[in-house]
Amino acid sequence: MTNSHYIAGRWVEGQGNDCISVNDPALGQPFAEFMAASVAQVDQAVAAARSALPAWKSTSASERAAFLRGFAEQLGQRREALIALQMRNNGKPRHEAEIDLDDAIATFGYYAELAEQLPAKHRDVPLAAPGFTARTRLEPVGVVGLIVPWNFPLVTSAWKLAPALAAGCTVVLKPSEVTPLIEQAYGQIADALGLPAGVLNIVNGKAETGAALSNHNGLDKLSFTGSNSVGSQVMRSASAQCRPVTLELGGKSAIVVFDDCDVDQAVEWIVAGISWNAGQMCSATSRLLVQNGIADTLLPRLQAALENLRVGNPLTEEVDMGPLTSQAQWLKVAGYFATAREEGLQCLAGGKALDRDGWFVSPTLYTDVPKHSRLWTEEIFGPVLCARRFASEEQAIAEANDSRFGLVATVCSADLARAERVADALEVGHVWINSVQAVFVETSWGGTKGSGIGRELGPWGLSAYQSVKHVTRCLG
């Protein structure tokens, strides 16, 4: 476990100041530890990516596509190990760990296809003016830094790595210190495939390592997924260097349930939106807006559904929901339970940590939560759902949009024309209608307002790593 950083095609020991402890959240105990990368090692990783860039960006799109397909295939070959590691380190139930792996595989496969389509995009531009020709080139942005959080480690990294490599960029990836072992698979795969040294570098560490990367003047772009507080520091570094940045930040998303819904179906979607990954999702639909006519029927059924969720250790029990992934997150969520008590909120389910080892909390429901409550306005990042009632479609839209965030939303209604109308009016990056949060690689991911800048996935995810150039020639 000592050689945990992948720099210039070699595995090296960390020389940083921080010791990284890798925990099993279901037991609340560490199972591995190693030293973070030092600032000098971040420098080495950026230098390796820089020297690998000219050759990598000159590879053909089909060569890069072959590497990306190799990543997809090799992820599949490591299936059992990667599922087990996500269960142990993230506390994910098995079916969630499987879906994450499949999502990462699909992402590499999709960007392999997009890479293959790149040559056809280098085409002439029809000009109205006579006497000139113009052609488009989509060039890689260059050396990119990728900083990611811990909640979906395989997936979030795949959403950045696959399009960056497809575009012809070289990368330095910094995984979260909470789940640093999972993305090591990407370095091992790079080794197995013979990816040229320096094209992919992985440095592990905490804030010191992350800041060394985001402040580095050898990067051409930084793509960050994480909290708003760190995101704003990353943006400050980018602005100091006038460098592009993509930010995928937090959320406080709404799920809007109209009177005409099938109640049991709506309960299923609401529960999935707050309990998946123990609510540790930027896209958690943690604000429930329920219409007056259905609220008194729906809320007791929702309470029962949340209370019936099987919460436990995914490695030893059949569970619907595992623990929170870190002690820090557990303490944060417990702090919100205390705030709810101070604010006198009405608690219909949960509202407490579980009385057992590990970082478990109960799935929680507060009702009739005032709009000014911290639990209604702040991202909690746990299985804590707050509900309010509404009378009209206009009120539902206004309340859903009344947030500093704008990541996603869900609309539940049997009236599809109304559902589509509401979806169009919501100020977010992705809306689901009568659905769980199905994320397809062809669609986009990212938010409005405080939820970030830019989009991942789909062709937009590739554009984020491309620079558009035109060559115009005078024929005269």
Task: State how far the Cα of 276 lies from the Cα of 242, in Å rounded to an integer.
Answer: 38
Active-site residue identified among 282, 386, 412, 456: 282
Taken in order 134, 135, 138, 139, the sign of the CA dihedral is: negative
Task: State how far the Cα of 111 lies from the Cα of 169, in Å rounded to an integer.
Answer: 13
* 248 is known as an active-site residue: yes
Taken in order 160, 157, 202, 165, the sign of the CA dihedral is: negative
Stretch that binds ligand NAD, among 4-12, 137-145, 219-227, 331-339 (CB under 6 A): 219-227
Residue 183 contacts ligand NAD per CB under 6 A: no
Bridge partner residues of 29 (DSSP): 24
- Pick the binder of ligand NAD from 45, 249, 256, 386 (CB under 6 A): 249
Task: State how far the Cα of 348 lies from the Cα of 420, in Å rounded to an integer.
Answer: 31
Stretch that binds ligand NAD, among 71-79, 148-156, 306-314, 333-341 (CB under 6 A): 148-156
Residues 419-448 that bind ligand NAD (CB under 6 A): 445
- Pick the binder of ligand NAD from 23, 157, 176, 410 (CB under 6 A): 176
* 399 is known as an active-site residue: no
Residues 330-389 that bind ligand NAD (CB under 6 A): 379, 381
Residue 241 contacts ligand NAD per CB under 6 A: no
Length of the chain: 476
CB of 207 or CB of 436, closer to ligand NAD: 207
The helix/strand/coil state of 403 is coil
Active-site residue identified among 96, 177, 183, 248: 248
Are the C-beta atoms of 406 and 451 separated by less than 8 Å?
A: yes
Stretch that binds ligand NAD, among 249-257, 297-305, 349-357, 391-399 (CB under 6 A): 249-257
| DSSP code per residue over 424-462 | HHS-SSEEEESS-----TTS-B--EETTEES-BSHHHHH
Stretch that binds ligand NAD, among 15-23, 115-123, 244-252, 333-341 (CB under 6 A): 244-252
Residue 147 contacts ligand NAD per CB under 6 A: yes
* Residue labelled with tokens 């990728």: 146
- Pick the binder of ligand NAD from 452, 454, 457, 464 (CB under 6 A): 452
Task: State how far the Cα of 106 lies from the Cα of 440, in Å rounded to an integer.
Answer: 9
Write the single-letter amino acid at 473: R
Q: Give catalytic residue positions.
A: 248, 282
The binding site for ligand NAD (CB under 6 A) comprises 147-151, 156, 174, 176-177, 206-207, 210-211, 214, 225-227, 230, 233-234, 248-251, 282, 379, 381, 407, 445, 451-452
